[in-house]
Structure 1
Amino acid sequence: MRGSWRRSLGQGAQGNGASDSTDALLPLLYQELKAIARRERLRLSGGETLATTALLHEAYARLAPAHGFPSRGQFLASAAVTMRRILIDRVRAQLAAKRGAGAEQVGLDEAADFVVEDGATVLGVHDALERLHAVNPRLVKVVECRFFAGYSELETGEALGISERTVQRDWATARAWLKKEMGR
């Protein structure tokens, strides 16, 4: 598949640019993208009725105009982040419709172990990640790859251009920081 990725990127560069390369890659990565969409939808649904395929296509529509991605891993990680943001935007809209229900604080370990049934919990996790981004943006990238995209440590390192050992350290640091932050 990596060879297909490189060929598609090359075709996009000769055609109309990054959008062409993204269009060519969708069929190659569709099943992986659908699995990510399903996982995100089930994890962050909070009563959401958005279908897996609809989430995938909405994320694709947001990614299509983006510039080319240097690797398959970075494309999939960006897709996972985009899907999470779509779901969070929808949860925010639902909560706004309910007259501003407050966000519940929940630990990262707890969030990883169950399906989020409450939109406010989704926002609690999201808000904690935004605070972590202000402290160390790379830690958030590691969390996005490991937690949201479901990447292994090796895949995360490849997607972010860092060593597997650095991923292990960053993952441990991020989890500890988020656990402390969300336990307040």
Structure 2
Amino acid sequence: MSEITRLLQAAESGDQKAAEDLLPLVYQELRRLAKARLSHEKPGQTLQATDLVHEAYQRLVDVTGGDDAKWNSVGHFFAAAAEAMRRILIDRARAKAAVKRGGDRQRIEFDAIEHPAAKRPERLLQLDEALVKLEQSDPQKAQLVKLRFYAGLTGEQAAQAMGISSATSDRHWAYARAWLKTAMDSEEAD
């Protein structure tokens, strides 16, 4: 009887130490199985092979599983591991497709989004210089500009992030926009 088979039998009878000793012996093979399964998934998959192995292994050695956790051989164990991985991937795919988790949304790569300032890089450089000056005189308003312009937050979201009221955020935004426009126009005139 191989060491793996002995540990499998001990683990299924509830020996927690055997379950812990089993993982190092089967880990590389489980990782190979996980990589093979994940290679058939769509690009952008957030689940890594290691995560899949750990979750599948947890399901396999769960001693509260009752009669489902009986393995006749090493091959049977790996077949059960492959089935556990398949079920994990199916569950994740169903969860991702659920409307409440954004399943009706289309993924767009960040690089594909072109910022309006990218069309006129010289204006972006002018904005940066003006923003540095604003930051020296009024750091809070400069922070608001960064949140709104670069992070794309709404006025309400930026206010919440900064811990200020929406009304204060609106006032700061109006002031900062006017200040930056004046600074950029005066620099352009020079």
TM-score (norm 1): 0.46
TM-score (norm 2): 0.44
Which structure's relative contact order is higher, taking Cα pairs within 8 Å and 6+ residues apart? 1
Q: Whose radius of gyration is greater, 1 or 2?
A: 2
